[in-house]
Chains A and B, each alone.
Chain A
Amino acid sequence: MTAPAPGEGDDPALALTLFVADPLRFGGIVLRGDGPIRDALIAAVTAALLESGPLVRVPANVDAERLLGGLDLAATLARGTRVMRPGLLDAATGGVVLLPMAERIAPDIAAHIAQAMDQGSIAAILLDDGREADAMPPAVLTDRCAFAADVGALRTVPDIGHPIPRQGAAVADVQRAALAVTAAALGVASVRALTLTERAACACAARADRSAVAEDDLAAAVRLVLAPRATRLPEAVPPAAEDEPPPPADPAEGEGQAPDEGVSPPADLLLEAAAAAIPPHILDQIERRVRGSGRTPAGRAGDRQRSAQRGRPLGARPGVPGQGRKLALIATLRAAAPWQQLRRSSAPDATGRVEVRKADLRVRHYEQRRGALTIFAVDASGSAALSRLAEAKGAVELMLAQAYVKRAEVALIAFRQAGAELLLPPTRSLTRARRALAALPGGGGTPLAAGLIAAQALGERAARAGQTPLVALLTDGKANVRRDGSAGRAEAMAEAAAAADAMARAGLASVVIDIAPRPTAEAAALAATLGARYVPLPRADSAALVAAVAG
């Protein structure tokens, strides 16, 4: 053994060592966390990687043109001959791209990088400072990265630059089966993840000069590759229960030396290793999903794009291309045309080509349809809660079913007992909505203020992202739980009124749907404070709800 057997505490270092030794083989690594040594660590990784190939830093705000390369417009105009500029991905071929603030990468940029990773021409390091719990690097990239390491806890820069022999360590089928069972128990569907786990196990063995993969190698690979991808806790599924026992290794089939020193770790040992290594933020996600508000933060579907880049073309305006703005060529030439004679006379060496100045440049503009987000904030208190929630759920599904064309999204917040809960984060996926809403809790008091505040926060976030939010409040307006969770009708009502006032001042559009058997003065007053439409719907059914919201 040339390297000491790594303990679990050294996992980030081990992941980095394996990655640095052969980046392209492992696709990439996600470095999460923002510890004291982060910068020093990145410097060390960079230095180690530069020994074997290029390393290119790609800022999160990069545009597709810079990423992929193309015509260098300024130089082409200046020289009158074609000047091409290589893209960042070209420059990184055979090496690594470093993506700081990976959680901010636009989906289209991520797609290009993922394509290059698929072709095996680059590997990626995704830096995610993990400050925003809901902002994760795009899943198209993280799925292609073998490792995810939490570097926030590191206090010293580990020693990572060890070369690892590429060839060697053999894996037995029974070991592969153990990995497959472990992945299934963790709810890891991606076959890519399995392949990467096997590679990691091989590299671990090679690092320790073993010719065959040992139990420790499997456990390490499971901790490094599978654990961060867990979508459920292993206890939920008894290991190996869902399939026939792993097939025994066929000695005739195993290429090279199949390890027969009795290295067949039972899957439950691996599972234990995996369960212990699931990072805390993944545990949080799993728990949220179990509670029924599952949205993998990575699935940021339908992200809004800036209007300088996408949507239907609207025409051209003066401006310098770059940063995602596209040159409108015809408009540019048209702008330059009247000046040609004048310019040519002042620049006699220019022969026959069009003289374009910076002021002539025109860029394209696009119209981006803003998506709508309907936030249902549902009073889930008291005895009527269940049927009310069921109708709200029906309304969400109906709206989604009708919303294909409009690209509208729907979210659902329920408030009851001590506070408000986001049951369905904004989505336009019917599939996801169904799953999230399958079990809806109800009963208890009415924390109206908490519900309003939660709806306002969500609405404001949506507005910042370019959406048009509408809050549909389903309540009888009778608050009796305060924001701190304590009971008290008068105080709760006062707090609710204050929250409603704040929401109105924030400029959020809303509609109050009074679901009490008889219309209540409280709900009407709430609507007045909010500046909202007031719709008494004593027998709210899904279709009527949708009609009320659609106005």
Chain B
Amino acid sequence: MGGFPFSAIVGQDEMKRALLIAAVDPRIGGVMIFGDRGTGKSTAARALAALLPPIAVVTGCRFGCAPEEAARSPDYDPAAKLSVVKAPVPFVDLPLGSTEDRVLGTLDLERALAHGEKRFEPGLLARAHRGFLYIDEINLLEDHVVDLLLDVAASGENLVERDGLSVRHPARFVLLGSGNPEEGELRPQLLDRFGLSVEVRTPDSIADRVEIMKRCAAQEQTPAAFAAEWADADGKILRRIARAKTALDKLAVPDALLADMATLCRAVGADGLRGELTLMRAARASAALDGAKAVARKHVAAVAPLALRHRLRRNVLDETGSTVRIERALAELFG
């Protein structure tokens, strides 16, 4: 399917907000999307990547490096003149059966066999550099591959020490995972590494469903016209992201609000510092997206479920949903 415009996605406000926050501040650490099949998870993720403006890439760099980090690429040649091309923001769809070789990169078999040359062949991590790495059904992915991905996502660098190779290259990407908890749950330590999590549900309202059908049909029949129809709205979102990115560093988070966040995290029992940090970053990015002058309680309240719901310690006997617990705590603390 050709790209579906981001702004044409009906409903799913929470998922869209989480994706926008990740686009504004990639340090947030990825988004985990829970939901049934066919609810448009990958469509939204893909749409966001397609929306973003092209990035400058060093010509011939197989690792997608930006000009300012050219020297960090294994392909860097100090003697060559640096030239730059524009490339779309990468969106890499990591298939379920991916092996370590394909993810990390491996010895270039062709060169090794045909020329006796030891050269590194970049993997999916290199392709995802400065873009998005989308993993459908992450809960079915091999544990060791997931661990590896999270390591690289956290460090922003892929270090390969295998097959007689020693290579390091930058690999910064926004990790997007999707999964259906009914088909096997994620380990809590893995969940905690994701910055935000969203629960996607099929729209209940018939009107929304009809609207989705209409837009899908329109896109299928006249893709170009459909894209043109939404180009303005997409452009608006793009400008909003750009403004938010520049505003981000200037936005101060008042001390009192930091204290509020700490209290909230303690009240819901969100383990670890990662929760607080993510909550702060998400609130700031959210405020920046809204064009606010300062981060306020309402921004915290808006992103608290996104940033915390997957970090709550699970109580086997209490079946209350995490979201409800967070909302309850918010109501108690913020009134």
Q: Which residues of A contact B (CB under 8 A)?
A: 25, 64, 71, 73, 76-77, 80-82, 106-112, 114-115, 118-120, 139-140, 143, 167, 171, 173, 176-177, 179-181, 183-184, 189-195, 198-199, 202, 240, 242-244, 246-247, 255, 299, 301-302, 309-313, 326-327, 329-330, 333, 352-354, 356, 394, 397-398, 401, 404-405, 407, 427-432, 434
Query: What's the nearest-Cβ distance from chain A to residue B251, in Å?
Result: 36
A398 contact set on B, CB distance < 8 A: 316
Best-surrounded residue of B107, B109, B206 (most CB of chain A within 10 A): B206
A397 contacts across to B, CB distance below 8 A: 316
Contact of A301 with B183 at beta-carbon distance under 8 Å, contacts A115-B95, A143-B38, A194-B212 already known: yes
Q: How near does chain A come to B210, taking the closest CB pair, in angstroms? A: 4
Given contacts A64-B97, A118-B1, A190-B37, contact A176 B319 (CB under 8 A): no
Given contacts A76-B113, A299-B182, A312-B144, contact A120 B1 (CB under 8 A): yes
Q: Do residues A190 and B202 form an inter-chain contact, with CB atoms below 8 A? A: yes
Q: What are 10 residue pairs bridging A and B, where the CB atoms are less than 8 Å apart in the complex?
A: A76-B110, A110-B96, A118-B1, A191-B38, A301-B183, A327-B109, A330-B164, A353-B116, A429-B183, A431-B181
Tell me, yes or no, whether B142 is within 8 Å of chain A by CB.
yes
B136 close to A (CB within 8 Å):
yes
User: How far is B35's CA from A192's CA once the two chains are assembled, in angstroms?
Assistant: 13
Q: Is B217 an interface residue (CB 8 A)?
A: yes
Q: In the complex the two chains form, is A183's CB within 8 Å of B209's CB?
A: yes
Given A193-B38, A194-B212, A80 and B114 touching (CB < 8 A)?
A: yes
Binary interface profile of B, 119-159, with partner A (CB < 8 Å = 1, else 0)? 00000000000000000110110111000000000000000
Q: Which residues of B contact A183 (CB under 8 A)?
A: 209
Select one of B93, B96, B110, B213 contacting A195, CB under 8 A.
B213
- Asked if B216 CB lies within 8 Å of chain A CBs, one says yes
> Per-residue 0/1 for B183-223: is the Cβ within 8 Å of any A Cβ (1 yes, 0 no)?
11111100000000000011111110110111011101100
Q: From residue B138, how far is it (CB to closest CB) to chain A in Å?
A: 11
B327 near A: Cβ within 8 Å?
no
List, in ascending order, chain A residues with CB within 8 A of B107's CB: 329-330
A191 with B209, Cβ < 8 A, contacts A76-B113, A302-B184 known: yes
| Cβ-defined contact, A329 with B116, below 8 A | no
Q: Contact between B37 and A82 (Cβ–Cβ < 8 Å)?
A: no
CB distance from A232 to the nearest CB of B (A): 14
Cβ of B292 < 8 Å from any Cβ of A? Answer: no
- Whether the pair B114, A76 counts as a contact (CB closer than 8 A) is yes
Q: Check if B77 is an interface residue, CB within 8 A of chain A.
A: no
Shortest C-beta distance, B31 to chain A (Å), equals 19
Chain B residues whose C-beta falls within 8 Å of the C-beta of A240 in the assembled complex: 206
- In the assembled complex, which residues on chain A have CB atoms less than 8 Å from the CB atom of B2? 120
Q: Are B206 and A244 touching (Cβ within 8 A)?
A: yes
**Which single member of B181, B188, B204 contacts A243 (CB below 8 Å)?**
B204
Contact A77 B97 (CB under 8 A): no
Cβ A176 vs Cβ B214 within 8 A: yes
Task: Check B206 against A243 for contact (C-beta < 8 Å).
Answer: yes
Q: In the complex the two chains form, what is the Cα distance from A119 to B3 in whole Å?
A: 10
- Cα distance A142–B183 when bound, in Å? 16
Q: A76-B114, A181-B206, A434-B319 are in contact. Are A401 and B314 (CB under 8 A)?
A: yes
Contact with A along B23-36 (1 / 0, CB 8 A): 00000000000001
What is the CA–CA distance of A115 and B92 in the complex, to the nearest angstrom? 11
Residue numbers in B under 8 Å from A302 (CB-CB): 140, 184
Given contacts A189-B36, A302-B140, contact A177 B210 (CB under 8 A): yes
Contact present for B137 and A140 (CB under 8 Å) = yes
Contacts of B201 in A (CB 8 A): 189
* Contacting pair B163 A329 (CB below 8 A): yes
Find out whether the CB atom of B163 lies under 8 angstroms from the CB atom of A82: no
Answer whether residue B69 sits at the interface, using C-beta atoms and an 8 A cutoff: no
B317 → chain A closest CB, angstroms: 8
Q: Which 5 A-B pairs have the closest CB atoms?
A: A108-B97, A190-B38, A111-B96, A192-B38, A180-B209
Give min CB distance, A362 to chain B, whole Å. 12
Q: Give the distance to chain B from A141, nearest Cβ to Cβ, in Å.
A: 11
Q: Quick one: CB contact mask for B1-39 with A, threshold 8 Å, 1 for yes?
A: 110000000000000000000000000000000001111
Within 8 A of A (CB), among B277-335: 314, 316-317, 319
Report whether A176 and B213 are in contact in the complex, using a CB–CB cutoff of 8 Å. yes
Contact A246 B38 (CB under 8 A): no
- Verify B206–A177 contact, CB threshold 8 A: yes
* Most chain A CB neighbours (cut-off 10 Å) among B114, B188, B213: B213
Q: How far is the CB of B50 from chain A (nearest CB, A)?
A: 13
Q: In the complex, are the beta carbons of A171 and B217 less than 8 A apart?
A: yes
Return B195 CB to nearest CB of chain A, in Å. 20
| Cα–Cα, bound, A106→B206 (Å) | 36
> A300 — nearest CB in chain B belongs to which residue?
B183
B97→A194 contact, CB < 8 A: no
| Cross-chain contact B210 with A247 (CB below 8 angstroms) | yes
Q: How far is the CA of A394 from the CA of B137 in the complex (A)?
A: 28
